[in-house]
Structure 1
Amino acid sequence: MSRRVSLTIMNDRLRYLYKRYCENRCTTAEREEFLALLQLGKGDENLHSLLDETWNAQHDDQSEVLTGQQLEHVVQRIMDEPQPKRPFWRRWHLGLAATIVGVIIGCYFLHLSQESPIENEQTLVQVDDVLPGDNRAVLVLEDGRKVDLEQAIIGELTQIDGIKAHKTEEGLIVFSAGEHEDISALKRPRQNTITTPRGGEFKIKLPDGSIAFLNASSSLSFPSRFSPDERRVELVGEAYFEVANKRKGGQLHPPFIVHTVHQEVKVLGTAFNVQAYPDQKANYTTLVNGAVKVSTYQSATDRSEQILKPGQQAIVESKGSSISIKKIDLEEVLAWKDGYFLFTNEPLRGIMEKVSRWYDVEVQYEGDVQDLRFFGIYARTKSLRSLLENIEQTKKIRFDILSNDSGKEERRIIVKAYRK
């Protein structure tokens, strides 16, 4: 997320929080949010101008004017205050500060409809909470055998065409050839599929040494051994790839190809993210480093190709063959992989799609709220209710978490405009 863009979106929110902070009226969540915004904008002239403006509005009966150095001192002093510990999170290495960890940094809605306040409705069947997703996946072998990877014990799981699959202590599933295995006589490698459910994610090392990290509600099909000419996998859903480009002996691998319903992504060695959920209107390929070629294949005569540079995203619409390219915030695209949600002025419907997949819940809307936009950051390791309560503090939207009282296991989120 660009700091300048973030501050442009958050100015009104930051003014409000600073005023509350000066009056010693911040709630715990508001204080954490304010500290996170300060950390994001540290050293930014726009932040200092905003604080200066708010300070003067708060002290218009005094002649004191803060200098830039004094403002910097104010910001640093506030940020240095003790903060509540948040004992979670896998990694945080993409430039945002640790003060943000697990905290929704702010919500800013656009196009909010103005409706008269009504009394809160009471839900009949409410759920206390919904836990976040976890490392869960099933490996389906070509012969029909299924391996529950979450429950699998550490060590060797199975052998397929001379390729061993084993689980490491870190939970990684590794496919590798045995030192003395002769697989040259095998005519056709068998296809295997790893599938993550809603509320699951998983990381595997493919037979060539490439890493694939699957997001929730995704599947990846791959052979037990790759052919000499290409390394082809098929993806439904979302996955992040770190592609190996050389064999152990130093020889280059053949091209690595990710096939989805609407596109192919061809690489040698690189890191990239592909999002291709069936219920979305487009496929999205984002390049982190290296180079990839994105191709469509509506027909032999209706085909497009584009080569991406790092920091670019290719968008392939489901009903067309053209490829559009745009610069993208890698931090936002890769947030899921690093254990958090990161939204930048995103429509509520897009946010709730991600929430639905990760927490394995259905979403139902009441009223015209799907196009409300907000941004925020939140750890995926936190519970659903904690996330929704943080969003509700904006006083723009509210949620009810329901279960089905018919005996079927079903959980729903009812999304409504906020009512006083």
Structure 2
Amino acid sequence: MKSSRFYTLLQYFKEDVISEKEWHELQTMIKTGCFDQLLEDDLLISLAGKGKQEKWTADIEQEILAGIHAQISEHSNRSGYKLWIAVAAVFLLMSTAGIIFFKSKDPLPAKINTLSHKYDIPPGGNRALLTLPGGEPIVLNDSSIRQLKNQTGGSIVKAGNGILVYKANALAGQAGKEMFNTISTPRGGQYQVILPDGTHVWLNAASSLRFPAAFKGEKRLVKLNGEAYFEVAKNKRMPFIVQTENQEVEVLGTHFNISSYADETATKTTLLEGSVKVTAQAGQKVLSPGEQALTNKDTRVIKVMPVSIEDAIAWKNGYFVFNDEKLESIMHRVSRWYDVEYHFEGKQGDLSFLGVVERSKNISSLLKVLASTGNVHFKIEGRKIIVMP
């Protein structure tokens, strides 16, 4: 339980919503040295998420851990819990700095120009709707931090950088009627939520997550529609379970991605770290890091295969990655993020693409990359994309 509490406080700290009392609690835990492994793991995860883990060395690791301990000791007797500059530099800069580079044998030509379009469409952004247990909707966007609601077992705090933080209190887990919140993103939206147990979830466009105001009983159960990346807080006594339309994923504490859109033929579960058990009507499979389970929505049969982790979570890191991907599949993903319709005009060849495009760019930038092959052309008409040979 102490490890779970440490991880939860660490998430509050990284999102800058930690209270003074919680900051002193975290200081005390770090000073014991008992949580160095968790601290190290969190640093490595931040690096891996930005494609920088290969530059990590044992010397750097020891320097950072020593620096954190030194800063904690130096400032432990001073007033003001925001004397954490060195620690913040480690967590916040490492989690936001750097660019992911993906390798490909045959990348698209880099012939992106700056020609303006008569019509253009901006990318999606941090937009979501939070529905409270009583059905009250709250619109979430990029506004500043503020407390939204107090509920039995905790309060909801909205962080201004597209993150909803649910902070449990002393009443969390006590007996009583279970209440559920639902956070949903529209087409062209994305959002993050830190659940009451400290689990961090990234929601992709056109997705929803239903979760309790406080986790009670023997398991932590959430329900997902669409796509989400999970960094689950460890708690061996209370497994974390994600239910989708056609499968169930059970974990104790790990990092994984689930894509379960209603308009796709299979649910994809990709494991980055730890171990997960995927269960469907036709059986179950246990995944190892770097593996993906494909659960057919008609037969409920699970197939497991090795995949690129970077490709699977590229959306979460702000990129579209096309790895020998068919044009129809690409346009389907593009339409979801930019909230557009698309239409194929004329006979299209069997086209596949390799390349990387930032999700933060206007749609014209992405279409120019695809069109630079000379095999396909595009026309923007309002919020409709015409795909031409």
Question: Given the two structures, how large is their TM-score scaled by the length of structure 2?
Answer: 0.70
Cα distance in 2 between the residues matched to 1:176 and 1:365: 47
Work out whether residues 379 and 387 of structure 2, in 8 Å CA contact, stay in contact via their aligned partners in 1. yes
Paired AA for residue 248 in structure 2: E
Cα distance in 1 between the residues matched to 2:323 and 2:109: 9
**Structure 1 residues 354 and 90: CA distance shift in structure 2, 3 A:** farther
Q: Which residue of 1 aligns with 2:279?
A: 295
The partner residue of 1:161 within 119, 128, 152 is 152
The partner residue of 2:269 within 276, 285, 298 is 285
Q: Which residue of 2 aligns with 1:112?
A: none
**1:179-218 deviation per Cα after TM superposition (whole angstroms, max 9, x unaligned):** x5476242x2111110001111101100111011000110
**Structure 1 residues 131 and 182: CA distance shift in structure 2, 3 A:** closer
Measured after TM superposition, the shift of residue 162 of structure 1 is 2.8
User: 1:371-382 alignment to 2 at 5 Å?
Assistant: 371-382=350-361
**Structure 1 residues 237 and 283: CA distance shift in structure 2, 3 A:** same
Q: Structure 1, unaligned stretches of length 5 or more?
A: 1-88, 109-125, 247-251, 298-302, 404-410
The partner residue of 1:200 within 183, 189, 213 is 189
**1:22-72 deviation per Cα after TM superposition (whole angstroms, max 9, x unaligned):** xxxxxxxxxxxxxxxxxxxxxxxxxxxxxxxxxxxxxxxxxxxxxxxxxxx
Residue 374 of structure 2 corresponds to residue 385 of structure 1: no
The partner residue of 2:216 within 209, 221, 227 is 227
Q: Structure 2, unaligned stretches of length 5 or more?
A: 1-94, 111-116
Residue 269 of structure 2 corresponds to residue 269 of structure 1: no
Q: Which residue of 2 aligns with 1:249?
A: none
User: 1:18-417 alignment to 2 at 5 Å?
Assistant: 92=98, 94-96=100-102, 105-106=107-108, 128-150=119-141, 152-178=143-169, 180-181=170-171, 184-186=174-176, 188-246=177-235, 252-297=236-281, 303-369=282-348, 371-403=350-382, 411-417=383-389
Measured after TM superposition, the shift of residue 154 of structure 1 is 1.1
Paired AA for residue 380 in structure 2: I
Runs of 4+ in 1 over 3 A off after TM superposition: 89-97, 180-183
Cα distance in 2 between the residues matched to 1:400 and 1:167: 39
Work out whether residues 90 and 338 of structure 1, in 8 Å CA contact, stay in contact via their aligned partners in 2. no
Cα distance in 2 between the residues matched to 1:271 and 1:256: 11
**Structure 1 residues 371 and 164: CA distance shift in structure 2, 3 A:** farther
Higher radius of gyration, 1 or 2: 1
Question: Given the two structures, how large is their TM-score scaled by the length of structure 1?
Answer: 0.65
**Structure 1 residues 395 and 90: CA distance shift in structure 2, 3 A:** farther
**Structure 1 residues 336 and 347: CA distance shift in structure 2, 3 A:** same
Measured after TM superposition, the shift of residue 382 of structure 1 is 0.5
Paired AA for residue 387 in structure 2: V
**Structure 1 residues 369 and 199: CA distance shift in structure 2, 3 A:** same
Cα distance in 1 between the residues matched to 2:357 and 2:101: 15
Number of residue equivalences: 288
Cα distance in 2 between the residues matched to 1:242 and 1:173: 15
Cα distance in 1 between the residues matched to 2:192 and 2:138: 15
**Structure 1 residues 370 and 330: CA distance shift in structure 2, 3 A:** farther
SS in 1 for 2:316: helix
Cα distance in 2 between the residues matched to 1:128 and 1:359: 14
Measured after TM superposition, the shift of residue 347 of structure 1 is 0.3
**Structure 1 residues 398 and 270: CA distance shift in structure 2, 3 A:** same
**1:132-176 deviation per Cα after TM superposition (whole angstroms, max 9, x unaligned):** 011111101120111111065412111222311002344321111
Cα distance in 2 between the residues matched to 1:230 and 1:367: 53
Work out whether residues 376 and 388 of structure 2, in 8 Å CA contact, stay in contact via their aligned partners in 1. yes
**Structure 1 residues 319 and 183: CA distance shift in structure 2, 3 A:** closer
CA RMSD across the alignment: 2.3
Cα distance in 1 between the residues matched to 2:139 and 2:305: 39
Cα distance in 2 between the residues matched to 1:360 and 1:146: 22
Paired AA for residue 211 in structure 1: H
Work out whether residues 220 and 236 of structure 1, in 8 Å CA contact, stay in contact via their aligned partners in 2. yes
Cα distance in 2 between the residues matched to 1:264 and 1:334: 20
